[in-house]
Structure 1
Amino acid sequence: MTVRSATNPHPRARRGSTRPWAWLVVAMIAVLLVVAVIVIWQAQSRAGSADEAARAYLRALESGDAAAVRDTGIDLSDEALQAFDDADSVVSEATVISVDEKGSNATAHVSFTLGGAEHDADLALVRSDGRWVPDGSGLAEVTVSTTAGTAVSIGDTVLDVSTALALVPAVYTVAAAPAAYLTGSVHVVALPGAADEVEVETSLRPETTAAAQQRLDALLEACAKETALPADGCGIRIPWGTEFRTVDDAAFRIDTMPTVALADDGTSFTASGGKLVATLTGTARGGGSRTTTYRSENWAVRGDVTFAGNEMTLTVW
């Protein structure tokens, strides 16, 4: 006869009673540790070193690919990237000579060939969002002035010259804009970290005068539709004050448009030889109604010419 203990009726069951959820917790912890290690390794791999980031930037410059330059993380405008696509030539034989890292800042001393000459430069890098990226020293600062207009173009990209241009290092042809009306260009070797000043000497294209004539005609035709004394900006001046106390109605007719002549520097114009007829109705100086017709057989106007972006605008004094 077998007698079982009252306090442990199943002695073998205790040794084999490890709960399944305990193994599940251990497995989950192991998986989390593996994931953490992978994430840390990926972050470290993505950050790379300042030396690797400098080399990546130089390779992007050599490629001539604006997207590759953008992917380095450097901060620059869309216009600068578009201009880089139209560069005449790009960096070649680029190499990193040395790198000095200090905390979250680094300086890479680099050499390269551009514009047929060898150059050295210091490229500063900073840690940003876990990676090394070049700062503004990786770009060229070019200040452009023009003898006419407020813009220049590199290829199809129009750039405002009111402030210095931050360009990707390369060789560019900087041309007067708008190209439809102005001609003139200058060759620019844009070096990283360098500041350069250039001037584009502009001249008017032959077709610019015809385009200015069209704009003046449209402006004066709009003025002629007025039924009151014209406001400033129409070039219409009538000596009505000696005969009228007030003018209630005005009718204008342009028989001949004034012919435009542009100043050599393209900043102003004169237009002469026009014929204008103006009929005014109102109150005479001595009282009562009055209607008088004025004729100008040599109507002339003057004004300013401005070029901005791709447009030419005439303003009559």
Structure 2
Amino acid sequence: MSRRRWWLIGSVAGVVAAVVTGVWILQATSRPATAQEAAVAYLRALESGDPAAVEKTGAVVSPETLEAFSGATALVEDAEVTSVTGDDSAPIGGATAVAEISFRLADEEHTAEVTLSPIDGRWVVDDSGRGSVSATPSVGTFVAVGEQILPAGEATALLPATYTVTAAPVALLNGEKSVTVLPGDETAVDVDVSVRAEAAGAAQKQLDEHLATCTEPGAAAPPDGCGIRIPWGTEFRAVTDIRYRVEELPTTTLSTTVFSAEGGILIATVTGTGQDGEKREATYRTDTWAVRGDVSFTADDVVLTAW
């Protein structure tokens, strides 16, 4: 046989081998990941601390959960899949697989079971791969996990990690608690809260705005919740107009539940009909103008409710 024919035969064989190898690689890379591979991918995403990596695994996780994960203070480490049952099943409707996992978190060793379910033809770790936290602050109705604001007392799904739960609004309240979230666990924490000095400034600004409304001209009677008492009863039969001049606003003192504002100076000029039926005008002054009321907190502000 000529060298040319041997060369042609060898070339054809090489092409056939390359095609066969290419087909095998394509099949290997296009097949769905096994349940074990999917569980490992989920654990590596948790170790990375990257919300995008968690999304890439196909896990159905809310934006709030992902945003909170970006603020985790400690992450899963040394995670392993120790065993898988149901891994020989294809990821089709009705099939499930269970992975036994081990990992280190917050300087402690942990084990857990996570269930994988088929979603869009692939194995995906379901809700068993998350935990939940409900946090109850002693003051306020919201807490913060990282940049994510969450309602107090409601169970919130979080990815396995350690988080700092902080009283909200963070700028006005002090109080935090570290919590470690494990797969499938439900955790409840109480957060002791105190008021920051900044809260008094925010409350004073709000009270000043409220008192500016209280002292607008044209009213025929002092408005409620303004701390204004004018003793005109013995001098006027009827009042048609009250004009106010504020010389000094009350200064606010704040606690976690109530406020008091004292030391204000207010002058009121009252116009109306005197007891004798004649037109009358009188001026009253108080150097002890005071306002009191309740305090509450929203997700981002303090709210005063004057009595």
Instruction: Look up the match of 2:227.
Output: 235
Instruction: Look up the match of 2:283.
Output: 293
Instruction: Look up the match of 2:45.
Output: 60
CA 249–89 in structure 1, closer or farther in 2 if over 3 Å, else same: same
Tell me how far apart the structure 1 counterparts of residues 281 and 43 of structure 2 sit (CA, whole Å): 78
Aligned length, in residue pairs: 277
Please state if 1:129 is matched with 2:114. Answer: no
Instruction: Look up the match of 1:171.
Output: 162
CA 42–311 in structure 1, closer or farther in 2 if over 3 Å, else same: farther
Please state if 1:145 is matched with 2:130. Answer: no
Which structure is larger by alpha-carbon Rg, 1 or 2?
A: 1
Q: Give CA-to-partner distance per residue, 1:151-196, whole Å, 9 cap, x none.
A: 2223333333252221111111222222222222111111111011
Please state if 1:213 is matched with 2:198. Answer: no
Match among 50, 53, 56 for residue 71 of structure 1: 56
Instruction: Look up the match of 1:312.
Output: 302
Does the Cα contact within 8 Å between 1:152 and 1:178 map onto a contact in 2?
yes
**CA drift at 1:128:** 1.9
CA 239–69 in structure 1, closer or farther in 2 if over 3 Å, else same: farther
**CA drift at 1:289:** 4.1
Match among 250, 255, 277 for residue 247 of structure 2: 255
- Tell me the percent identity: 49
The answer to which of 188-197 and 149-158 deviates more is: 149-158
Does the Cα contact within 8 Å between 1:50 and 1:125 map onto a contact in 2?
yes
Tell me how far apart the structure 1 counterparts of residues 115 and 168 of structure 2 sit (CA, whole Å): 34
Instruction: Look up the match of 1:108.
Output: 99
Question: For 1:188-207, what aligned pairs fall within 5 Å after superposition?
Answer: 188-207=179-198
- One-letter code aligned to 1:260: T
Please state if 1:268 is matched with 2:244. Answer: no
Does the Cα contact within 8 Å between 2:199 and 2:302 map onto a contact in 1?
no
What stretches of structure 1 of length at least 5 have no aligned partner? Answer: 1-36
Other structure's SS at 1:192 match? coil
Q: CA RMSD in A?
A: 2.9
CA 294–190 in structure 1, closer or farther in 2 if over 3 Å, else same: same
Other structure's SS at 2:265 match? strand
Does the Cα contact within 8 Å between 1:92 and 1:114 map onto a contact in 2?
yes
Tell me how far apart the structure 1 counterparts of residues 211 and 276 of structure 2 sit (CA, whole Å): 33
Match among 71, 77, 81 for residue 66 of structure 2: 81
Tell me how far apart the structure 2 counterparts of residues 162 and 240 of structure 1 sit (CA, whole Å): 50
Tell me how far apart the structure 2 counterparts of residues 97 and 237 of structure 1 sit (CA, whole Å): 75
Tell me how far apart the structure 2 counterparts of residues 199 and 178 of structure 1 sit (CA, whole Å): 16
- One-letter code aligned to 2:181: A
Instruction: Look up the match of 1:22.
Output: none
Does the Cα contact within 8 Å between 2:225 and 2:291 map onto a contact in 1?
no
Other structure's SS at 2:162 match? strand
CA 131–238 in structure 1, closer or farther in 2 if over 3 Å, else same: farther
The answer to which of 107-116 and 151-160 deviates more is: 151-160
Does the Cα contact within 8 Å between 1:43 and 1:130 map onto a contact in 2?
no
CA 168–244 in structure 1, closer or farther in 2 if over 3 Å, else same: farther
Q: Give CA-to-partner distance per residue, 1:254-312, whole Å, 9 cap, x none.
A: 2221121112xx22211112122223334556755443433332111112222222222
Other structure's SS at 2:41 match? helix
